[in-house]
Structure 1
Amino acid sequence: MERDLEIITRKMWIMQQCRNQMGRYQFFHSAKMHQKTAELFANRDDCWIENNDLGFFRGPDGIRRFFVDFHKKMDGDDLRGSFCQHDLTTEIMEAADDLKTCKAVWLSPGVETRRDPKTGKLTSYWCWVKYAVDFIEDCGTWKFWHFTIYSDFFCDYYTAWVDVPYTTSATDDMLAPDETISADKSYVYTKDTVPVLWPKPPVPYKTYERNTLTERQEQEGAV
């Protein structure tokens, strides 16, 4: 009984560290502190971020390219009027019984203000996504290991999402040669999509065996 209580207490501590890390991500991202955002990831070659709008980025160089290079390019030099806020809701989180990893998902309604790349005009957007994140301890700190962003819809403030076809703001020049924009858009809202449970909320687990990306690829017969 004493051992069970110790594990439960340790799990609660781990989950709070991971919860704080995800909160830091949102605050840094909102403040356009892209280098600080990249530093929230574990310094491991097998860490990655996937965004079904923007592509798949592996390792510390890929993380830096996504958060620092791409976002600075998208933001431009003039940050006046720029705005980004993605809230975290509906959290489900589980720490492994072996206390080595943690998994979590969130729904995230978001709003953004960007400059139109053609006109320079400030434009307001709805940007709703889901997050699926694996955490791992790195040098005594719980950090992001695998980080997936699933876009639900993206449209300007004046247009209903039901009236907007799927688009992506990714360009070939932001991708490394071994990285590609995800071909799977089945989780992005369109008038033809049917609701599915994805990403799957984590359930209690003993030790880390797979991530949501691997599970999805196996489900679709890609691996």
Structure 2
Amino acid sequence: MEQLEQKIKKLWIMQECRNQMARYEYLHSAKKHAETYRLFALSRDDCWIENYDLGFFRGPESVKRFFVDFHENMDGTDVRGSFCEHTLTTEVMAVADDLKTAKACWMSPGCETRREPGTGKLTSYWVWVKYAVDFIEENGEWKFWHFTIFSDFCSDYYTSWVEMEYGTPATPDLLAPDGKPAMALAYTNQTKPQLWPVPPMPYKTYDGNTMTPRKE
């Protein structure tokens, strides 16, 4: 049975991780891309982000290419009317018994307003995703170590997601991912429900990313 002191430390770590994830949502909504990037454990070459639409990005420079270079290019110089807001729900979190890492996943309903390439027309979208995140302590702060974004569906305001036809997303040249996504999970009218990511269970020490298909 866990000692009271260890339980208290785990609760503190969990709150630090929750705050970090909430900061991500606020900063991302405000288009603070450089500040979002700094939420990662940038002293580690094995930090990564995987986006199931856009690819796998390993190491600080690749994470910067995804969060700063790509998003700033996508936003352009005129962000009037741009909107991006995602919420965090259904959290499952576990802290290692050795208190060195933590794992968590969330479902995230969201909505966005984007400018259509070429026309610049503002279009509203429903965008639902799931997050699976490994946290690690860096210089006294709990940072993102491994960060996976699973796309559930994206449909414009007037179109049911059942009616959407999904192809393989084109990866912009600017992104230059280090690898392809491990698998495709976006909803179609032919997909079957599955448990993914797998919510973290209590664990003693970090033994690999067990919530996503990608193995270290």
For the superposition of Structure 1 and Structure 2, which TM-score range results when normalised by the shorter chain?
Answer: over 0.9
The alignment's TM-score, normalised by the length of structure 2, stands at: 0.94
Matched, 1:216 2:216: no
Q: Provide the rounded CA distance (Å) in 2 between the counterparts of 1:30 and 1:217.
A: 28
* Cα distance between partner residues in 1 of 2:46 and 2:135: 12
> Is 1:199–2:197 an aligned residue pair?
yes
The secondary structure found in structure 1 opposite 2:130 is strand
Query: Corresponding residue for 2:142?
Result: 142
Whole-angstrom distance in 1 between the partners of 2:36 and 2:183:
26
Question: Residues of 2 paired with 1:105 and 1:174: CA distance?
Answer: 29
Q: Percent identity?
A: 65
CA contact (8 A) 2:92 2:104 kept: yes
Query: Partners in 1 of 2:53 and 2:168 — Cα distance?
Result: 5
Gaps of at least 5 residues in structure 2 are none
Cα gap change, 1:142 to 1:170, in 2 (>3 Å): farther
Aligned-residue CA RMSD (Å): 1.7
Structure-2 change in CA distance of 1:84 and 1:169 (3 Å) = farther
Letter aligned with residue 55 of structure 1: G
Residue by residue over 1:130-158, the C-alpha shift from the partner in whole angstroms, topping out at 9 and shown as x without a partner, is 00000000011000000000000011101
Report the structure, 1 or 2, having the larger helix content.
Answer: 1
Shift of the 73–42 alpha-carbon distance from structure 1 to 2, 3 Å rule, reads: same
Q: Can you give the 5+ residue segments of structure 1 that lack an aligned partner in the other structure?
A: none
**Cα pair 1:126 1:154 within 8 Å, conserved:** yes
CA deviations on 1:63-95 (whole Å, 9 max, x unpaired) are 110010111111111000000001000000010
Judge which range, 157-166 or 101-110, deviates more. 157-166
Contact 2:183–2:213 under 8 Å retained in 1: no
| Superposed displacement of residue 171, structure 1 | 2.6
The amino acid that maps onto 2:109 is P
Alpha-carbon distance change, 66 to 201 in structure 1, aligned in 2, over 3 angstroms: same
1:68-79 matched pairs, under 5 angstroms: 68-79=68-79
Which amino acid in structure 1 is aligned with residue 33 of structure 2? H
Question: Helix, strand or coil for the counterpart of 1:173?
Answer: coil
| Separation in 1, partners of 2:60, 2:12 | 26
CA distance in 2, matches of 1:47, 1:166: 30
What is the alpha-carbon distance in structure 1 between the residues aligned to residue 17 and residue 172 of structure 2?
33
Normalised by the size of structure 1, how large is the TM-score?
A: 0.91
Q: How many positions carry a matched residue from both structures?
A: 215
User: Using the alignment, how far apart are the partners of 2:99 and 2:22 within structure 1?
Assistant: 21
